[in-house]
Amino acid sequence: MSGTWVGRDFVVPGFRNRSDEASKALGKGLRDRVSRAEHAVFEPAPNRPDVVESVERANAGRLEHLVPLRIGRMAASPFAFLRGSAGLMAADLAAAPVTGAIAQICGDAHAGNFGVFGTAEGRLVMDVNDFDETVQGPWEWDLKRLAASLVVAGRVGGLDADACRVAAYDAAGSYRRTMALLAKLPVLQAWDAIADESLVAHADAADLSGLLKQVSAKARRNTSARFAAKATRRRSDGTWHFVPEPPVLTAVDDEVARSVAGGLAGYVATLSPERRPLLARFAVEDVAFRVVGTGSVGSRAYVVLLLGNGDEPLVLQVKEARPSALAPYLPPARVEHEGRRIVLGQKWMQAGTDSLLGWTSIGERPFMVRRFRNMKGSIDPSVLAAHEIDDYARMTGALLARAHSHSVDPKVLAGYCGKSDRLDDALARFAVRYADRTEADYAQLLAAVKSGRLPAETGI
Asked if 378 and 129 count as a contact pair (C-beta separation under 8 A), the reply is yes
> 86-94 and 139-156 are packed helices; what angle lies between their axes, rounded to 10 degrees?
130
* Domain spans in the chain, listed from the N-terminal domain onward: 7-220+377-451, 221-371
CA atoms within 13 A of residue 172's CA, in its CB half-sphere: 34
| pLDDT surpasses 50 at 13 | no
pLDDT surpassing 50 at residue 2: no
Task: Give the single-character DSSP code of 15.
Answer: B
Amino acid at 134: T
CB burial class (10 A; 0-12, 13-18, 19+) of residue 421?
middle
pLDDT tens digits, residue range 104-113?
999 999 999 9
Q: Phi then psi for 122, rounded to 5 degrees?
A: 85, 5
Lowest mean pLDDT among 11-20, 96-105, 120-129, 278-287: 11-20
pLDDT of the residue at 196: 66
Question: Could you report the per-residue pLDDT of 174-192, keeping only the tens digit for each?
Answer: 999 999 999 999 888 888 8
Interior angle at CA 164, CA 351 and CA 388, nearest 5: 55
pLDDT tens per residue across span 77-124: 999 999 999 999 999 999 999 999 999 999 999 999 998 887 777 778
For the chain, percent of residues with pLDDT exceeding 90:
78
Percent of the chain clearing pLDDT 70 (strictly above) = 95
313 touches 107 (CB < 8 A): no
Confidence of residue 359 (pLDDT cuts 50, 70, 90): very high
Answer whether residue 250 shows pLDDT above 80: yes
Q: What is the mean pLDDT of the segment spanning 232-245? A: 95
Over 60: is that where the pLDDT of 9 sits? Answer: no
Segment 311-333, tens digit of pLDDT: 899 999 999 999 999 999 999 99
Q: How far apart are CA 22 and CA 222, in angstroms?
A: 47
User: Does the structure show a pLDDT above 50 at 14?
Assistant: no
Say if CB 20 and CB 114 are below 8 A apart: no
Q: How far apart are CA 167 and CA 139, in angstroms?
A: 19
Question: Is the preceding omega at residue 366 within 30 degrees of 0, hence cis?
Answer: no
DSSP state of 324: P
pLDDT of residue 352: 82
The tens digit of pLDDT for each residue in 36-64 reads 999 999 999 999 999 999 999 999 999 99
For 30-179, strand residue ranges (E) read 102-105, 114-118, 124-128, 135-138
- Whether residue 4 is predicted with pLDDT greater than 70 in this model: the reply is no
Predicted pLDDT of residue 295:
84
Of the candidates 446, 400, 365, 362, the residue with the CA atom closest to the CA atom of residue 74: 446
Q: What is the pLDDT of residue 212?
A: 86
Provide the 3-class DSSP secondary structure of residue 19: coil
Greater pLDDT, 195 or 411:
411
Dihedral sign (CA 371, 322, 195, 217): negative
* C-alpha atoms less than 13 angstroms from C-alpha of 201 in its C-beta half-sphere: 5
Res. 6: pLDDT tops 60: no
Integer Cα distance of 347 and 271 in angstroms: 12
What phi and psi, each to the nearest 5 degrees, are found at residue 225?
Answer: -65, -40
Q: What's the pLDDT score for residue 204? A: 82
CA distance linking residue 184 with residue 186, whole number of Å: 7
At 324, which amino acid appears?
S
Q: Is the model's pLDDT at 459 over the cut of 70? A: no
Least confident of 20-34, 168-182, 191-205: 191-205
CB 105 within 8 A of CB 178: no
CA dist., res. 366 & res. 374, Å (int): 22
Residue 87: which residues within 8 A CB-CB, separation 6 or more?
A: 54, 57, 58, 325, 326, 328
